[in-house]
Amino acid sequence: MIRFLLKLAAAGAVVGGTVFWILTIPNTLDASDLPDHNADLANGEYMFNIGGCASCHAAPKSTGDARQVLVGGVTLGSPFGDFHVPNISQDKETGIGGWSDIDFINAMVKGVSPEGQHYFPAFPYRSYQNMTIPDLLDLKAFLDTTPAKSSQVPDHELPFPFNIRRSVGMWKLMYLDGKPADPAPDASDSIKRGAYLVQGPAHCGECHTPRDILGGPIDARSFGGAPNPEGKGFIPNITPHKTGIKSWSEDELVTSFEDGFKPDFDSFGSSMVEVQINLSLINDGDRRAIAQYLLSLDPVDAQRPPKK
């Protein structure tokens, strides 16, 4: 009887492992899925700025042209361990200089490396899947013009079982739907543009939306504020609730995006400083589109933890 149970358990383990392996196979696009496209470098740089690529991939406190030297190395803390941001410069050994267009697209919208491995979702591909392929191809073309710089970034420091990349395939089944964001069909063109920028390249929800125990975003509370994933403080509510931006006017939001000052004459702090720098580099129409979209959201109570 014991021998039979052991055989049954072994068979169950094999079946379970096979099912897990099949369910977690990385899903990718093929080069034939990409449209014919003439790259627009100016738009690529624009996507680079609003996407905040330099904020994570340039060396800390970089300014001016140094923001385009994308050596990586910034450490992102999380409840699952520390993630070290990679080199995305044009260096072919330690960066992405050898990547093709389809390599880049699969990384950005599918979270899959050129070697066919899952990227951990600290890389915000759940938001980048909302971007259009032409915008992503423009971004890739712009990145191709940035300097090559060799740098060795440490491996992520994740304890077991969070260090098992294959398990990210299960996370993707739950949280990565492969569908671009679809704002309300009756929204104005400006609000639709704001929705695209916020949900796509700017990836605002990655910090401003709370997460569940598996690190997946709680969509019902999108943009309602969340504990800082790095463990210190609370990321503000950016919906028009009284605990958020209800008292802010559209013009006040636009101005704060441009100069970093809030209506009470205080200034942005923490990681929002970098975000504001990125927002200052886009045009006023898009800053206004973002403001209009945020003010059009359903109010969400921030549910901040009580102060100790």
pLDDT in tens, 52-73: 898 888 887 777 777 888 888 7
Output the pLDDT for position 43: 96
CA distance 25 to 123: 19
Give the whole-angstrom CA distance, residue 201 versus residue 199: 7
pLDDT of res. 296: 93
How far apart CA 150 and CA 104 sit, in angstroms, is 19
Task: Identify the segments of the chain with pLDDT beneath 50.
Answer: 7, 308
In the block, which residue shows the tokens 């938001």?
127
**pLDDT of res. 134:** 96
Residue-wise pLDDT for 174-211, tens only, equals: 888 877 777 777 889 899 999 999 999 999 988 999 99
pLDDT at residue 235, as a whole number: 87
Which residues touch 231 (CB under 8 Å, ≥6 apart)?
77, 79
- The pTM of this model reads 0.89
Instruction: Please tell me the predicted confidence (pLDDT) of residue 106.
Output: 97
Tokens of 141: 């073309």
